[in-house]
């Protein structure tokens, strides 16, 4: 079969209005991550925002001219403020200062940012950032209540330490991953009906497993779960119903996904079996190969003269292989991962056969690669048809490409079966 990518509605047009706050620098990271996820970002900066970050750095990251001035004829000719208000799929205001919120609530239109906000009929998400006293002030709270009543969505503020030393409370800009989750959740309903995986059930395993030694200690590995969470978000963005079965990880929960949290490999297998049937199953978890034979129910104590305990290990069930051999319940497309530290392709090809997977996504996880816990990944896609070497990409992009390709493959398999 020839391999192509389905045209998907995953990439959105986002207009980012950057307000003048110390947190404005976080917009640089936000833009980079949004673009990694396939979105297009155009930015408008208020006058005071330009005191904190330069239009030059914002423009370099968006790859678009940054707009700053309502009365600039060049800018108005290039893209008038009314088109700027109507073209995007969503407008994000971050950081939204107390002053900007007040001007929005009052319906002002005395600069480009507020004129666009007044002219738009698109969803608007604001992420406030200010000193806690300013946030708690009655005037700000009155404006927030008004804006919420007007249908404006809010992300945050988060609670924590402020830039001013010794100040803490509500007022921090939400972290970038949470802001992205809030932005993408606006498109969820849409994706469910229009995506390439609409009506399909995608099952994903992710993260490490923890195998208990006693009630306090366990065996684990360095998996962060990032790639699995990105796969779940990518499948959701294509309209799939997603079940994400994850070991213990510290990641923000993607919205619009059923998350099942487990600890051990045995629990993961049980949860996977309970979630079947599925159209696609992706096994991204770093399942512990062994568990402790007889975990102690009480904490193991050390005592002088007592020998260090010996752990006897038993092999865990191979979840991928079990599901790939589950007869009529076998998902139509079974995708495994091969995390290797040497001879990546040779090991991965063996796994394709021994695990009975349709594809193996192989990656080098040697410490020098920085993949474990890192943001990017360099993968090889091994199928019965051969090997594809993909360039280094963010984990979000890898996830998006895998799910797009899976949608094409699933469609081909269904058509062949009919
Ligand atoms: N896997 C699984 N259940 C296990 C072990 C692995 O489902 N008990 C899945 C992983 O999620 C991954 C694939 O099998 O998709 C390969 O896992 P990996 O640990 O790389 O392979 P192993 O079979 O454990 O082989 P080895 O540790 O010898 O490399």
Which tokens hold the place of 196?
A: 């390439």
CA distances from 392 to 360, 369, 395, 403 (A): 17, 11, 9, 17
Question: Is pLDDT of 415 > 80?
Answer: no
171 and 225 assigned to the same domain: no
138 and 25 assigned to the same domain: yes
Ligand 1 centroid to 318 CA: how many Å? 7
Query: Of the residues 320, 321, 379, which should be mutated to test ligand 1's pocket, given the most ligand atoms within 8 Å of the CB?
Result: 320
Global confidence as pTM: 0.62
Q: Active-site residue 221, yes or no?
A: yes
Q: Packing angle between helix 226-237 and helix 395-417, nearest 10 degrees?
A: 50
- Cis status, amide bond into 95, omega within 30 of 0: yes
Exposed / middle / buried, residue 333 (Cβ in 10 Å: 0-12, 13-18, 19+): buried
142 and 233 assigned to the same domain: no
Contacts of residue 168, defined as CB under 8 A and 6 or more positions apart, other chains included, come to 132, 159, 160, 161, 162
Which one is catalytic: 13, 72, 143, 221? 221
Closest ligand 1 atom number to CA of residue 317: 8
Ligand 1 centroid to 331 CA: how many Å? 18
- Collapse the DSSP code of 169 into the 3-class scheme (helix H, G, I; strand E, B; otherwise coil) and give the result: strand
378 and 254 assigned to the same domain: yes
The answer to whether residue 8 is domain-embedded is no
Task: Domain count for the chain, please give it.
Answer: 2
The model's pLDDT over 35-54, given as tens digits with 9 standing for 90+, comes to 988 899 999 999 999 999 99
Closest ligand 1 atom number to CA of residue 205: 11
175 and 307 assigned to the same domain: no
153 and 53 assigned to the same domain: yes
Contacts of residue 54, defined as CB under 8 A and 6 or more positions apart, other chains included, come to none
Closest ligand 1 atom number to CA of residue 354: 23
172 and 303 assigned to the same domain: no
Protein residue whose Cα sits closest to atom 19 of ligand 1: 286
Last residue of one domain, picked from the residues 184, 212, 238:
184
Protein residue whose Cα sits closest to atom 18 of ligand 1: 338
174 and 213 assigned to the same domain: no
Closest ligand 1 atom number to CA of residue 339: 20
CA distance 194 to 196: 7
User: Are 97 and 23 within 8 A, CB to CB?
Assistant: no
The answer to whether residue 176 is domain-embedded is yes
- Consecutive H or E run containing 273: helix 265-275
Task: Please report the beta strands in 365-410, taking only residues with DSSP state E, as ranges in sequence order.
Answer: 376-377, 379-383, 386-389, 393-394
The answer to whether residue 360 is domain-embedded is yes
The model's pLDDT over 172-216, given as tens digits with 9 standing for 90+, comes to 999 998 899 889 888 765 554 458 898 899 999 999 999 999 999
Range of the domain at 169: 13-184
Query: Of the residues 210, 336, 342, which should be mutated to test ligand 1's pocket, given the most ligand atoms within 8 Å of the CB?
Result: 336
Residue 72 banded pLDDT, cuts 50, 70, 90? confident
94 and 230 assigned to the same domain: no
Residue 2 banded pLDDT, cuts 50, 70, 90? very low
**Percent composition of the chain: helix, strand, coil (DSSP 3-state, to 5):** 40, 25, 40
225 and 128 assigned to the same domain: no
The model's pLDDT over 270-286, given as tens digits with 9 standing for 90+, comes to 999 999 999 999 999 99
- Collapse the DSSP code of 206 into the 3-class scheme (helix H, G, I; strand E, B; otherwise coil) and give the result: strand
The model's pLDDT over 133-151, given as tens digits with 9 standing for 90+, comes to 999 999 999 999 999 988 8
């Amino acid at each position: 079969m020839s391999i192509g990518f389905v045209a998907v509605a995953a990439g959105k047009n986002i207009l980012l209005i950057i307000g003048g706050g110390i947190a404005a620098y976080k917009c640089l990271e936000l833009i980079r991550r949004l673009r990694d996820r396939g979105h297009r970002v155009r930015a408008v900066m208020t006058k005071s925002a330009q005191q904190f970050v330069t239009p030059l750095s914002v423009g370099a990251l968006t790859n678009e001219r940054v707009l700053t001035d309502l009365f600039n004829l060049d800018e108005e000719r290039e893209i008038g403020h009314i088109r700027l208000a109507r073209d995007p799929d969503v407008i994000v205001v971050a950081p939204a200062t107390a002053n900007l919120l007040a001007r929005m609530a009052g319906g002002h239109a005395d600069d480009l940012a507020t004129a666009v906000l007044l002219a738009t009929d698109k969803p608007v998400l604001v992420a406030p950032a200010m000193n806690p006293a300013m946030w708690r002030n009655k005037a700000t709270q009155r404006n927030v209540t008004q804006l919420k009543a007007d249908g404006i969505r809010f992300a945050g503020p988060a609670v924590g330490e402020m830039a001013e030393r010794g100040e803490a409370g509500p007022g921090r800009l939400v972290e970038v991953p949470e802001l992205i989750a809030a932005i993408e959740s606006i498109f969820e309903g849409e994706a469910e009906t229009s995506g390439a995986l609409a009506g399909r059930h995608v099952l994903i395993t992710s993260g490490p497993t923890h195998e208990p030694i006693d009630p306090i200690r366990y065996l684990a590995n360095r998996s962060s779960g990032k790639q699995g969470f990105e796969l779940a978000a990518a499948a959701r963005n294509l309209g799939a119903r997603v079940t994400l079965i994850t070991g213990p990880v510290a990641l923000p929960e993607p919205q619009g996904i059923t998350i099942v949290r487990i600890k051990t490999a045995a629990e993961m297998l049980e949860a996977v079996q309970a979630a079947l049937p599925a159209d696609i199953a992706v096994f991204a978890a770093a399942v512990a190969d062994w568990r402790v034979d007889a975990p102690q129910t009480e904490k193991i104590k050390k005592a002088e003269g007592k020998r260090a305990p010996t752990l006897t290990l038993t092999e865990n069930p191979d979840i991928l292989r079990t599901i790939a051999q589950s007869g009529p319940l076998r998902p139509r497309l079974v995708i495994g991962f091969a995390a290797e530290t040497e001879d990546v392709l040779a090991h991965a090809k063996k796994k394709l056969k021994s695990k009975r997977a349709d594809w193996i996504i192989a990656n080098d996880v040697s410490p020098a690669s920085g993949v474990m816990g890192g943001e990017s990944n360099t993968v090889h896609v091994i199928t019965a048809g051969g090997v594809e070497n993909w360039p280094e990409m963010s984990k979000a992009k890898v996830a998006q490409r895998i799910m797009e390709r899976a949608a094409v493959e699933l469609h081909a398999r269904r058509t062949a079966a009919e």
